[in-house]
Amino acid sequence: MNKENFILKIYAITLTLILGFFLLSGFISNPKNERFDEITVERINIVEPDGKLKMVLSNQERQHPGMMDGTIYEARERAPGILFFNEEQDEIGGLGYNGNKEEGGNNVYLSFDQYKNDQVMQLMHLTNKNGDNRYGLVLWERDKELTMAKRQSILDSLESEGYNYRQKFEYLKEQNGGEPILEQRLFMGKNYNRETGLFIKDKYGVDRLRFYIDTDNSPKIEVLDEEGKIIKNIIDN
């Protein structure tokens, strides 16, 4: 009897373990291959196997403040959207958007950053408070020597001394021998004044060549001087 009881106990334990295994298998799926019909979240971080951040999809409240060389910037208000990061843990661009009736409409932009710096190319749609739209492709030129980290350090120091936004960048320009540290070089699209075309600027951000259709539906090809004054209208000539 003792031998039979022992065998029955072993049998019962074995059967319990087998049943438990199959029951748990039915509730636990492979975490490496989950599938959802719908998911609601405030933020998603995409990382490499080593944990390095590659992309963030987030609402406005939880948006990543950005980082350079793996150092995260101080908390700041940013638009909801998507941010991209490279292997050195620098932010290198992203997609952002916002908009409401009170402020005129929608603002959407897809930006691409220069290495160790800020944006130099952007595909955008902006709406001002009057409801006017500006949309197209924008290119900027930045001083390569004044990296994002250097610039932010200087700007933070100037802010602590009471400099306003314009004064900060005037200071940076003075320290750069009067040469610009950031200027728009090209816009291709539709301006707030409804001119549509290609507008090319010099290194100081002054329009020098314009190919566009004006608000009277007339084609224009204009050459401008260093002060932005028209010196030749090719079509008129």
**Domain-embedded: residue 216:** yes
Q: Ranked by mean pLDDT, which of 8-17, 108-117, 142-151, 228-237 comes out on top?
A: 108-117
**Domain-embedded: residue 27:** no
**Of 81-85, 122-126, 158-162, 207-211, minimum mean pLDDT range:** 158-162
Tell me the residue range of the domain where 176 lies. Answer: 36-233
**Domain-embedded: residue 2:** no
What span, in angstroms and rounded, lies between the C-alpha atoms of 20 and 10? 15
- Tell me what percent of the residues of the chain surpass a pLDDT of 70: 86
**Domain-embedded: residue 127:** yes
Task: Count CB-CB contacts under 10 A for residue 213.
Answer: 14
* Token reading at 225: 């001087």
Residues sharing a CB contact under 8 Å with residue 19, sequence separation 6 or more, in sequence order: none
**Domain-embedded: residue 159:** yes
**Domain-embedded: residue 120:** yes
**Domain-embedded: residue 227:** yes
List pLDDT tens digits, range 20-43: 665 566 555 556 778 889 999 999
**Domain-embedded: residue 140:** yes
Mean pLDDT of 69-92: 94
Question: Quick one: angle between helices 165-175 and 148-160, nearest 10?
Answer: 120
* Greatest alpha-carbon span in the chain: 117
User: Which pTM was predicted?
Assistant: 0.79
The pLDDT of residue 21 is 62
Res 9 pLDDT > 70? no
Residue of 90, 38, 41 whose CA lies nearest to 61: 41
Domain count, the chain: 1
